[in-house]
Amino acid sequence: MAQVVIENVYKSFSSRQGEKTVVPIAAEPLVAKADEGALLAEGSPSPPAGGVNVLRNIDLEIKDGEFMVLVGPSGCGKSTLLRLIAGLEELTGGKIWVGDRLVNELPPKERDIAMVFQSYALYPHMTVYENIAFGLRRTSQGERERTSTSSATGREDVGAGLSAAKPTLERGRVISKDDRLGQATGLMLAMAGKIWDGVGRDLLVAMTRSLPRKLRYLSPKEKAIQEQVLRVARLLQIEPLLNRLPKQLSGGQKQRVALGRAIARNPQVFLMDEPLSNLDAKLRAETRAQIVKLQRQLGTTTIYVTHDQTEAMTMGSRIAVMNAGQIQQVDAPLELYNHPANRFVAEFIGSPPMNFLPVRVKAPRLITHQEFRLTLPEAWEEVLQNYDGRSLFLGIRPEHLSISLPAPKNLSVEVDLVEALGNETLLSVHLTDAPSSIMQVRIPPDRPVEIGERLWLSLAINKIHLFDEQTGRSLRVRSSELSR
């Protein structure tokens, strides 16, 4: 397990010919500024001419064992960030640390990271068992290659859980230096052991792989792999499916196999890129709960990408909200809901999204709109001093509006749409004197409402948000002060 630290990361792609250039942030330059050069990672390529920074200045620290969710609209750079961590894309600038290792220059297989892709990416001609075992064989092979150079130092381990694979014939190496014959025999035995271990066993494994499981030859390495596959299959309840091909599985089962393949490798970090997007609502909810439970059991640092905010709110211990290649806010789910840093986060977190109305400030704490006037709680006085006579955006969530009586502080609206969901009713309304001001309202299910009906709505005064008109930043007041 390990923490992941992302430090001032940039990623540019050169825009392809004929393709419209996407400028992620209107007022920002397309590439990192010259004075930011010092911050670019050593040896990283400079942004290509005419390139587009799809990620800018990403700083994010994911703690050891944490479940971090990356959320944001399509195209904001979530998958790109994940692929950079996995080593599938090259950094334009910045540094990425996994544990205490700077991984900028490390190839994916040496990063000890397992990635679950949205598309499952199972091998269609392999059974579930083989799909899960495949990654383990590759890992142990890779590790054997890596450790073979260090065998002179006596290191023969080929990974946790696979140490039983140590070849028995290599014991022939431990022979007295004085005994020349013995030494030669030992050498020959060691070589034979190497050949047997490298080729003979693998050959036998390959030759007997298609036989019924009980007749197969299993090398110590294969036995260790089998144990690991069975352990993971039990964990994910896919044991009965081990002999099936992917085409014989449902979407949810395929998803669990893809997860199993990642888990079996016992990596330091899991990266999951929208792994549930192909599932129906019920399976999605089930698998979501299963992933959270598994992550808690395993304690593996996890970075999970989604654009579904329900998934983000229910799964993440913290959420990083991204927009247009930048991180907008990193916080615990309820903190994002209650204290969004800016208008983008306020609108993105919460469903239906927050409503916004242009208002004017009259010190010390009066807010006016062409249709209503509100006196805010005292807690706002200090922050509103600087905004006297200026315009702001007032934000109010659909659940913080309620049907009320005519009053100067209330809004007169006309109902355009009624969605009765059983447990609640959602209304789409417009301000009576400003038809272009559309708002969403969430009301209890027992209040019948008709399309075209005129209503008066009151705003929950302690749940109001105010945003700077120019920067979109939230004006902060402590909620504890509001409730006094």
Pick what 456 binds: ligand ATP, Mg ion, none; C-beta below 5 to 8 Å, kind-dependent. none
Q: Tell me which residues in 57-76 interact with ligand ATP (CB under 6 A).
A: 72, 74-76
Which of Mg ion, ligand ATP, none does 193 bind, CB closer than 5 to 8 A by kind? Answer: none
Going by their DSSP bridges, the two strands 67-71 and 318-323 should be labelled as parallel
> In this complex, which beta carbon is closest to ligand ATP, that of residue 79 or of residue 302?
79
The token pair that represents 379 in the structure block: 């807690």
Cβ atoms of 145 and 110 closer than 8 Å: no
Report helix, strand or coil for 465.
Answer: strand
Residue 367, classified by CB atoms within 10 Å of its CB into exposed (0-12), middle (13-18) or buried (19+), is buried
**Angle subtended at Cα 395 by Cα 390 and Cα 398, rounded to the nearest 5 degrees:** 155
Do 283 and 315 meet the contact criterion of CB atoms below 8 Å apart?
Answer: no
As measured in angstroms, the least distance from the Cβ of 390 to ligand ATP is 35
Determine which residue in the list 79, 255, 295, 329 makes contact with ligand ATP, applying CB under 6 A.
79
Token pair of 429 as six digits? 């309304």
Kindly list the residues in this chain that would bind Mg ion in the complex (CB under 5 A): 79
Based on the shown chain and the rule CB under 6 A, indicate whether residue 307 belongs to the binding site for ligand ATP.
yes
- CA nearest 328: which of 345, 315, 312, 313? 345
Which residue's CB is nearer to ligand ATP, number 236 or number 303? 303
Q: Does 328 participate in binding ligand ATP (rule CB under 6 A)? A: no
d(CA 81, CA 58): 9
Among 9, 47, 78, 379, binds ligand ATP (CB under 6 A): 78
The Cα-based distances of 79 to 23, 305, 388, 435 in angstroms read: 18, 7, 43, 39
| Least Cβ distance, residue 75 to ligand ATP (angstroms) | 4
Contact between 13 and ligand ATP per CB under 6 A: yes
Q: Give the residue nearest to Mg ion (CB).
A: 79
**Within 10 Å of residue 120's Cβ, how many Cβ atoms?**
19
Name the one range near ligand ATP by CB under 6 A: 77-85, 125-133, 239-247, 367-375: 77-85
- The count of chain residues that interact with ligand ATP, using the rule CB under 6 A, is 12
Tell which one of 80, 92, 253, 474 touches ligand ATP (CB under 6 A).
80
Q: Which is nearer to ligand ATP, 94 or 395 (CB)?
A: 94
Distance CA 168, CA 220 (A): 10
The answer to whether residues 274 and 119 touch, using CB atoms and an 8 Å cutoff, is no
Beta-sheet pairing, 355-362 with 391-396: antiparallel
Measured from the CB of residue 45, what is the shortest distance to ligand ATP in angstroms? 14
Contact partner, 75, from ligand ATP, Mg ion, none, Cβ < 5-8 Å per class: ligand ATP
User: How far apart are alpha carbons 372 and 350 in whole angstroms?
Assistant: 25
Closer residue to ligand ATP in complex, CB, 8/148: 8
Q: How far is the CB of 307 from ligand ATP (least distance, A)?
A: 5
Instruction: Among 21, 22, 145, 373, indicate the residue that binds ligand ATP (CB under 6 A).
Output: 22
Residues near ligand ATP (CB under 6 A): 13, 22, 54, 72, 74-80, 307
